[in-house]
Amino acid sequence: MKIIVKTAVRTGFMVLVIAGFYSCKPKKATNVVQGDAASKVYVAPGKLDEVYMFASGGFSGQVAVYGIPSGRLLRQIPVFSVNPENAWGYSEETKPMLNTTKGFIPWDDSHHPVLSKTAGNDDGRWLFINANNTPRIARIDLTTFKTTEIIELPNTGGNHASPYCTENTEYVVGASRFSVPPDETEVAINTYKQNFKGVVNFIKVNKESGHMNLEFQLDVPAIDYDLARAGKGVSHGWLFFSSYNSEQANTLLEVNASQKDKDFIMAVNWKKAEEYLAQGKGVKKPANYYHNVYDESKHMATSELMKEVMTLDARALKDICYYMPCPKSPHGCDVSPTGEYIVASGKLAAMIPVFSYKKMIAAIEAKQFEGEFDGINVLKYDAVLAGEVQKPGLGPLHTEFDQNGFAYTSFFVSSEVVKWNVETREVVDRIPTYYSIGHLCVAQGDSKQPYGKYLVALNKITKDRYLPTGPELCQSAQLIDISGEKMKLLLDFPTIGEPHYAQMIQADLVTKNQRKVYKLEENKHPYFAGNEKDAKVVRKGNEVHVYITAIRSHFTPDNIEGVKVGDDVYFHVTNLEQDWDVPHGFAVKGAGNSELLVMPGETQTLKWTPKAPGVFPMYCTDFCSALHQEMQGYIRVSPAGSSTPLSFSTGNTAAAK
């Protein structure tokens, strides 16, 4: 009996000791959602969200549009990757949009959506986004949420520091993350230092039409340019680029590009570059790149090969570019709303340097250089530094701002968002993210007038945050309320692809310009059929052009005969509707490319090459009306060389003779 009691007492003691050890374990930051988070993200049925969020799709190559604060996915805009759902990259009209000097490219890696600006504020007109892999910049028209222009960037490897725009969208820029030999020549890879070069592309944007033009390229030393922001307010006329690999390594960059204590922020005086261009200091060089433009009245894209580019050499014209030393492979390079501070986030650093524009200008005037790097003057760190944010966290990546003088920096390694005072550089609040935040986004947070109510953390890892879906899991966004003194977690929502970055804008800046239909009387498509009387089938050699109309709920014509094996059939489908939200789809059996999805008033073309004789049904794929199921027809394909005459009809019920 005594034994039993003793054993029980000893066991109890041991349990207490072990429990004691466990209670010593430091508590993790709390994962509790506080208070009225649910009501803050609840957008009642029939109500609209307050803010649009445009997130890049990363490896999906697209842009996803969300409503905030609900986190509802509203639409995916196809940009660099084909999208059979609406024939982007499959219809004859959209194929030229994905044309490059490397041929037709059906995908890319899209990174940074950037809203166009007027006077330093988001104007809701266009959204630009970069393709990192096959270097391009796309422009999305926010009246239609459609990609209407894509321009290729020659002599560029990895268009990552892109497509940041200047205060009035004078330029969007694209700087090379991967320096490469110019003119796509082949050299030994280990001759990086001698033969490779970096480049900054300046794409001029037409104020009215938005049309892009590669105005000039700035040749810069061969290192990796990572992210950028334009100056604004006081610093208007400048651009700032973060960079890494000032070691100029060409292999095992993980180690070799992390050796130096400091890399650079490159400050570029683009107004000065314009002056040099005006003085004729530019040199025209041959370069091949495609410029693809979608014409919204012809409803089709054209792809034009451009043959030369104007270049300026930053090493020779010494007062365009300056390097500011910056600790440890900086990623984010963000300019405060006033334009005075440039916040650089060294992703291996344990502090955040904040540079002063005024001090930079003074240092340039006083020639406070610590030396040159590959022909570029390097300013003294202390001469340009406003101050450092001490012990903010680990692995700062990216910073955006609110309208009350606070900055919000994401920390990948310590997985948190840290709020700090821009003037005093004191940390005032921090909140954990789940997990491993990359970029973050404050609504209008890179403009002169941020809408500092919402912040979205774009997380790389989700693990246990959602129902599991096998080895491949979604990436995630987290909505954080920043309207108060303390940041509050409101909502998790999954994303499409990997949203490297997102921008948010108050909804009314975009909704006021929305287009609902394309006007039939403005349709200038060469194969347009404006009413059912114009519907016809025309043979040109072995091409058969079908001018077909769609309206609730029939196609005209819907019976077609006389097509032969060996023909290429082009269905030019015009949607005759002029009502909002009445698209028609078009599909034909055996279509090897995709279906069509044709908006009201639009014409789109599907190429179809039947391989064997038969009767092939065609039908509408978008539920359009109570009689949608009846919206169907047939195409008869006869053997090659047969004598079936070309004929077409709708509503002719007479039986064959």
In the complex, which residues of this chain contact other proteins (CB under 8 A)?
A: 551-552, 577-580, 625-627
Rounded least distance, CB 576 to other proteins, Å: 8
Q: How far is the CB of 82 from other proteins (least distance, A)?
A: 31
| Smallest separation (angstroms) from other proteins to the CB of 598 | 16
Residue 234 DSSP label = G
Q: Which residue, 488 or 552, is less far from other proteins as judged by CB? A: 552
What is the token pair recorded at 493?
Answer: 């929502």
List CB contacts of 254: < 8 A, sequence separation 6 or more.
none
Q: Considering the complex, what minimum distance in angstroms separates the CB of residue 626 from other proteins?
A: 7
Minimum CB distance to other proteins smaller for 467 or for 626: 626
Residue (315 or 552) nearer to other proteins, CB: 552
Write down the least CB distance from residue 625 to other proteins, Å: 8
Residue closer to other proteins by CB (options 186, 521) is 521
* Four-CA torsion 490, 481, 64, 225, nearest 10 degrees: -130
Nearer to other proteins, 428 or 627 (CB): 627
Counting Cα atoms < 13 Å in the Cβ hemisphere of 245 gives 21
Q: Which is nearer to other proteins, 180 or 576 (CB)?
A: 576
Query: Distances from the Cα of 224 to the Cαs of 194, 220, 291, 376, 639, in angstroms?
Result: 15, 11, 25, 15, 59
Rounded least distance, CB 578 to other proteins, Å? 5
Six-digit token string for 600? 């009201």
Residue type, 97: M
Contacts of 571 (CB under 8 A, 6+ apart): 546, 548, 586, 588, 596, 605, 606, 608, 618
Q: Which residue, 268 or 551, has its beta carbon nearer to other proteins?
A: 551
Token pair of 212 as six digits: 């892009």
Which residues lie closer than 8 Å to 418 by C-beta, 6 or more apart? 392, 393, 396, 408, 409, 411, 427, 429, 430
CB 504 within 8 A of CB 53: yes
Closest distance between other proteins and the C-beta of residue 538, in Å? 27
Distance CA 200, CA 279 (A): 20
The least CB distance from residue 353 to other proteins, in Å, is: 53
Q: Which is nearer to other proteins, 303 or 625 (CB)?
A: 625
Tokens of 280: 């004729």
Nearer to other proteins, 30 or 511 (CB): 511
β-strands 603-608, 536-540: how paired? Answer: unpaired
Q: What angle do CA 635, 639, 641 make, to 5 degrees?
A: 120
Nearer to other proteins, 625 or 644 (CB): 625
* Min dist. Cβ of residue 574 to other proteins (A): 14
- Shortest Å, Cβ 141 to other proteins: 23
Q: Is 592 exposed, middle or buried (0-12, 13-18, 19+ CB in 10 A)?
A: exposed
For every residue of 566-589, DSSP letters joined together read TPEEEEEEEE---STT--EEEEET
